[in-house]
Amino acid sequence: MFFQLDFLRRLLAILVIIGSFALSFVFLDYHQFRHANLIKSNETVNFEIRSGDSINSIANQFAEKNWIRHPVYLKVFARLNHLSDIKVGHYAITPDMNVQSVLQMFVDNAVTLQKVTFIEGWTFKQMRQQISALEDIRHTLKDVSDEQIMQMLNMADQHPEGWFLPETYSYASGTRDLDLMQHALQAMQSTLEELWQKRQENLPLASPYEALILASIVEKETGAAEERPLIAGVFMTRLRKKMKLQTDPTVIYGMGERYKGNIKRKHLREATAYNTYVIPGLPPTPISLPGRAAIEAVTQPDEQGYIYFVARGDGSGTHYFSRTLDEHNKAVRKYQLKK
């Protein structure tokens, strides 16, 4: 009996020692798991959490990628540290991040942001093409007309041209195409309202929308920032004198798909809703996406009595401005006809 008790005590002691070693090993292994960098690469890794993913599925995915050896460690760590409420999205895991920083990023929804740029002077069609080419958004507008898009944006009574501010926008992967448009629309509405409130007095414009239309023409007429207020001033002077604007970009827009890179005399005489060689005043809608600078130029024009301008044609993108038709004709011969 004594021998049996002694044997059991020895066995228990051995088991305690083995258990202690095992616990020590597990503790050290868990400690190393907590503090080690998650990924074993020197490059940032993109990781996606999809709808329905949980800490359990994330732990298994990490193990499959050989980022962790024991999925249970991650599950325990997440629950002990209240890091289980992970959010759907695309995330950038950098080489210096440990398990805690990665899970915290998932909980904080610190998703990877992408960027898209809409260029000043683009048409709405070009903006749609740019959005359609993005691979990391949710495309919902493939077979939706321009008119339907404006209805979805609560702008059912508006033509889409010009209503979206050309800028660089950040967005999370998985964002809807319509949400990108909504962002650009709100940016334009805010910018237009702000600059219209600061406008010069007695402008020959009846509304912010007319300012938007004229800004879209200014945007297409020059790429030289310093010229925009002067170009806007020419159009203001023409509007005050009840002169036709006679601007080629409106002719081109009115031609639509028929424009092949060259305007002929017959096109200048063609009666379209946008041909400002034929129609008085402004065209019915903008002809492009005007940037903030173009809208500023229209609301703060530099009116110096110029009525005409002609491109210098020297590669600078600048123009020669004239106050009389005779001076303008001389400039045309100098800068255009001789070339």
Contacts of 286 by beta carbon, 8 Å cutoff, 6+ apart: 159, 161, 162, 163, 212, 213, 215, 216
In 3D space, the residue among 242, 184, 173, 214 whose CA is nearest the CA of residue 300 turns out to be 214
Cα separation of 173 and 50, whole Å? 11
Q: What is the pLDDT of residues 63-85, one digit of tens each?
A: 999 898 888 888 888 998 898 89
Say if residue 19's pLDDT is above 60.
Answer: no
The mean pLDDT value of the chain amounts to 87
Mean local confidence (pLDDT), 153-172: 94
Q: Tell me the pLDDT tens digit for each residue of 170-219.
A: 888 778 899 999 999 999 999 999 999 999 999 999 999 999 999 999 99
Q: Could you tell me the CA-to-CA distances from 279 to 46, 160, 206, 262 in Å, in that order? A: 55, 21, 18, 21
Residue with more model confidence, 298 or 335: 298
Of 89, 48, 86, nearest in space to 171 by CA? 89
Q: How confident is the model at residue 114 (pLDDT cuts 50, 70, 90)?
A: confident
Domain with CATH 3.30.1490.480 in the chain: 35-111
- Check pLDDT > 60 for residue 18: no
pTM here is: 0.76
* Residue 25: per-residue pLDDT: 47
Contact 276/218 with Cβ under 8 angstroms? Answer: no
CA distance 18 to 13: 9
As a whole number, mean pLDDT of residues 224-228 equals 89
- For residues 228 and 90, the model is more confident at 228
pLDDT on residue 262? 79
Lowest mean pLDDT among 158-167, 177-186, 329-338: 329-338
Highest mean pLDDT among 47-56, 103-112, 238-247, 308-317: 238-247
| CA–CA separation, 70 and 72 (whole Å) | 5
Helices 208-221 and 292-299 cross at an angle (nearest 10°) of 120
Q: Give the per-residue pLDDT at 136.
A: 82
What local confidence, expressed as pLDDT, does residue 265 receive? 81
29: pLDDT strictly greater than 70: no
User: In this predicted structure, which of 35-39, 153-157, 296-300, 327-331 has the lowest mean pLDDT?
Assistant: 35-39
Rounded CA-CA distance 306/91 in Å is 55
- Determine which helix (DSSP H) or strand (DSSP E) holds 265, and give its type and residue range: helix 265-269
Banded model confidence at residue 22, pLDDT cuts 50, 70, 90: very low
Cβ atoms 101, 147 nearer than 8 A = no
- Torsions phi, psi for 55 (to 5 deg): -60, -40
Selected residue with higher pLDDT from 44 and 237: 237
Tens of pLDDT, residue by residue over 250-280, are 999 998 888 777 777 888 888 899 999 999 9
What mean pLDDT do residues 149-156 have? 95
CATH 3.40.50.300 is held by the domain 35-111: no
